[in-house]
């Protein structure tokens, strides 16, 4: 009986490990394209960015305090790097039934309040968050344009200090972009951060 228990436990561990490994895109993978609605009503796709060197795709939302803490820094990063070929696309994957504050209409309000000059698109079906393997907000995917095909160059945090922008020591995202601009790989190319879990549809 004990052996059976141990066996089933090991089996479930293996299954979990498999699912975990197969979950989402990894650094080096081709970035899946999408066509999602921006707050201005237009549709946004990666293919619209064929002349960019890359894209800073950030899963974020209205309600999450970590996302809010990073809004000004995201605006700043776009200001700094859009003209160098790395514009921001912000993408909200949250279920609006779980979090009404993250509805499409509230995204429009938030984008206006904060003066977003970059797209803020709505992943209404949550399919893109699932495909990319995003789990939290904010969650960054830095994409690199290889002659029209975007690949994932960096996944993770914007920097190492969510609560205090003044005391950031490691600017992970900015460093990754700088590396790409010098035709180098991001190092590190994967970091973790605390964030709000993505609110999946029930």
4 scored as a contact of another protein (CB under 8 A): no
195 scored as a contact of another protein (CB under 8 A): yes
Count Cβ neighbours within 10 Å for each residue of 118-157 and write b for 16 or more, e otherwise. Answer: bbbbbbbebebbeebbbbbbbbbbbbbbeeeebebbbbbb
Q: Give me the least distance between CB of 132 and another protein, in Å please.
A: 12
Torsion of CA 178, 53, 66, 92, to 10 degrees: -170
CA distance 39 to 30: 26
119 scored as a contact of another protein (CB under 8 A): no
144 scored as a contact of another protein (CB under 8 A): no
Among 25, 111, 128, 198, binds another protein (CB under 8 A): 198
Q: Give me the least distance between CB of 96 and another protein, in Å please.
A: 13
Binding mask 31-60 for another protein (x = CB under 8 A): ------------------------------
């Amino acid at each position: 009986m004990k052996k059976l228990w141990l066996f089933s436990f090991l089996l479930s561990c293996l299954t979990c490990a498999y699912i975990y490994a197969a979950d989402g895109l990894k650094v080096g993978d081709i970035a899946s394209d999408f066509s999602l609605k921006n707050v201005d009503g237009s549709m946004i796709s990666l293919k619209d960015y064929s002349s960019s060197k890359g894209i800073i795709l950030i899963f974020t939302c209205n309600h999450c305090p970590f996302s809010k803490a990073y809004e000004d820094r995201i605006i700043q990063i776009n200001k700094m790097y859009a003209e160098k070929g790395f514009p921001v696309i912000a993408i909200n994957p949250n279920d609006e039934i779980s979090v009404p504050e993250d509805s499409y209409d509230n995204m429009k309000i938030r984008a206006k309040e904060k003066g977003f000059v970059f797209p803020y698109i709505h992943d209404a079906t949550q399919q893109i968050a699932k495909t990319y393997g995003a789990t939290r907000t904010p969650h960054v995917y830095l994409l690199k344009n290889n002659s029209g095909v975007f690949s994932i160059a960096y996944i993770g945090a914007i920097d190492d200090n969510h609560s205090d922008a003044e005391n950031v020591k490691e600017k992970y995202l900015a460093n990754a972009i700088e590396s790409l601009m010098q035709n180098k790989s991001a190092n590190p190319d994967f970091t973790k951060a605390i964030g709000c879990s993505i609110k999946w549809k029930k």
